[in-house]
Amino acid sequence: MGGEATVVVDAAPGYDETHRTTLEEVAWGASRPGRVWRVQPLCETPPMAREFTKVGVIGLGTMGAGIVEVFARNGIDVVAVEVTDEAVERGRGVLQHSTDRAVTRGKLTPEDQTALHARVQFTSDMADLKECQLVVEAVPEHLDLKKDIFAKLDAIVSDDAILATNTSSLPVTEIAVATINPKRVVGMHFFNPAPVLQFVEVIKTVITSDEIFEDVKALAERLGKKPVIVGDKAGFIANALLFGYLNHAVAMFESKYATREDIDAAMKLGCGYPMGPLALMDLIGLDTAYEILDTMYKQGRDRLHAPSPIIKQMVSAGLKGRKSGRGFYTYAAPGSSAVVDDALTPTAAAGSTAGTRPVRTVGVVGSGTMATGMVEVFAKAGLDVTFVARSEAKVEAVRAALAKSLEKAVQRGKATEEERDAALGHVRGTTRLEDLAQVDLVVEAVVEDLSVKRALFENLDEICRPDAILATTTSSLPVVECAAATKRPQDVVGMHFFNPAQVMKLVEVVHTVSTADDVVATVQALCATVGKHAVTCGDRAGFIVNALLFPYLNDAVKMLEANYSTADDIDTAMKTGCGLPMGPFELLDVVGLDVSLAIERELYLEFRERGYAPAPLLEHLVTAGYLGRKTGRGFRTYA
């Protein structure tokens, strides 16, 4: 036992936690001449993370070339491998283009660019990977192809070299067992563009050696990345959450519920996402997206991951997104990011087929934050606004909040004193609904209770003149229920502002089966007048934004509930890997867990999808009174 190697035979199957080996590995070693399995001495000090000086990358598409750049930028020599000399040259061109852009933008000096390229050896011969301490494959998402590559690497690299896969959805374990020594195989999933995005998912299988895993995690940190540790589950963290959302957006487009432009604008403007879901699908590639969704569905059998039929149809037709020049959008050329008009592009003429009604005076019912914001929006646009609150005290509170908001705008240079005074001059407060008798349009922003809203619409129907438009800013309740409470359902429409209304650009214009075309056109025009971007959709639970957002948030809660990852790591994955402004648990705590649960219940009742059923953990937190920031505790605890 004095520090010399000792072989311990354990009759139990599985890992020996001291020596990190298995009986199966001993058998593999015995069957492979020339392979000597090192047994760690019992009292050996755990080694420091190894220093990588030379790595290999197989596959030089956009992702592979990006990974090459990441390593070379950090002073590591890289052997970059492609299948043919022509593919090698294309990969060299991708790297050249990327570093040229970095130089142009001042992110890289010409001298550093020259040094970076000098560290890269391009080749079509895998044998050149012989001296690499780590090899990362970044080939297309086909399991047989990856397994074949890993099996070949066994005969090329040294016994202590690490083999990593950049797969975004395939089981790392299945790739690992194609090798002689599966414990040295790990997932190292970069995100596109790899030189820019900080997030890396490090995937540890049940076979992966702890030492190998720690080496790869330390390397990711050395590269300036934020590694998140996950198990070998379809989609890992980011793709498991992202692609369900993308697939839902595709289904929404396929059913003609909303246009591609409105779906994408809704998620960019309503949630602050860097790209809309359909534009993101084009960037990823529809063929890649199909493979990821299909793999996730086959592993998890979640119907929400079953690829929407239109994806396969488009891939079969060669419409793969930016790479082919056409996907959900049409591009100037294959590989271009410039969107050009096509047959689906909306035109000004198409939007003017229905007439509009004049809107010069507006009524707002409610005195909360949303109602106050809408009053400010309309008043700043020069419309005369009458708002109705339940008491004189609430009327004065709205006036005070409005004056404070406008004064802040003046102090920040976003408005002049004259504009402030003009806006205040357009506003009148009252406690009487009857004072709305002559307005052109009324928007209600009262409590999200259907019985309250229906009673209000009955009153407005009796009070307002016959051609007035009645709108609700509900975020989840059926607009048609409000319309059915009136004798003028053709004049009722949804006008869903986002909070804070004076800041957020998006308004969802929601038409029911009864809403007249000129009412929709009028509200769309009014949104443009007050500086908002209108997106139009049918009267379905969640409309566009909440219908796409909250199933994704619910999936995140289920992932946490299953102990697959932590709230911090899931938030990090979605912020740094997908560029979202907030992680799902940050957002849930801000929105309020009770509000989120109510919306998810509405979605489940509407669509009856098992995957939309609210996660039990969310139900339990709400029952316990942990509602997020407003109560000081939700998924996190606040001071």
Question: Do 424 and 406 form a contact (C-beta atoms < 8 A)?
Answer: yes
Which CA distances in Å does 174 have to 142, 145, 201? 12, 12, 18
Nearest to 577 by CA among 563, 561, 589, 565: 565
Max distance between CA atoms of the chain, in angstroms, equals: 97
Nearest to 185 by CA among 171, 195, 199: 171
Q: Phi and psi at residue 502, in whole multiples of 5°?
A: -75, -15
Nearest to 263 by CA among 245, 282, 249: 249
Contacts of 344 (CB under 8 A, 6+ apart): 259, 260
Question: Do 56 and 180 form a contact (C-beta atoms < 8 A)?
Answer: no
Contacts of 459 (CB under 8 A, 6+ apart): 433
| DSSP state string for 306-325 | SPPHHHHHHHHTT--BGGGT
What's the number of CA atoms in the CB half-sphere (13 Å) around residue 9?
Answer: 2
- Measured at the alpha carbon of residue 543, what is the angle toward residues 538 and 548, in degrees to the nearest 5? 135
What gap in Å lies between CA 321 and CA 324, rounded to an integer?
6
Q: State in Å, rounded, how far the first CA of the chain is from the last one.
A: 53
Nearest to 299 by CA among 436, 476, 172, 389: 172
Beta strands at 77-81 and 120-123: parallel, antiparallel or unpaired: parallel
Q: How many CB atoms lie within 10 A of CB 100?
A: 13
Q: How many residues does the chain have?
A: 639
Nearest to 328 by CA among 258, 414, 392: 258
Nearest to 122 by CA among 145, 77, 92: 92
3-state SS class at 298: helix
Active site residues: 168, 189, 201, 239
Question: Do 479 and 453 form a contact (C-beta atoms < 8 A)?
Answer: no
Q: Is 624 exposed, middle or buried (0-12, 13-18, 19+ CB in 10 A)?
A: exposed
Q: Phi and psi at residue 493, in whole multiples of 5°?
A: -145, 155
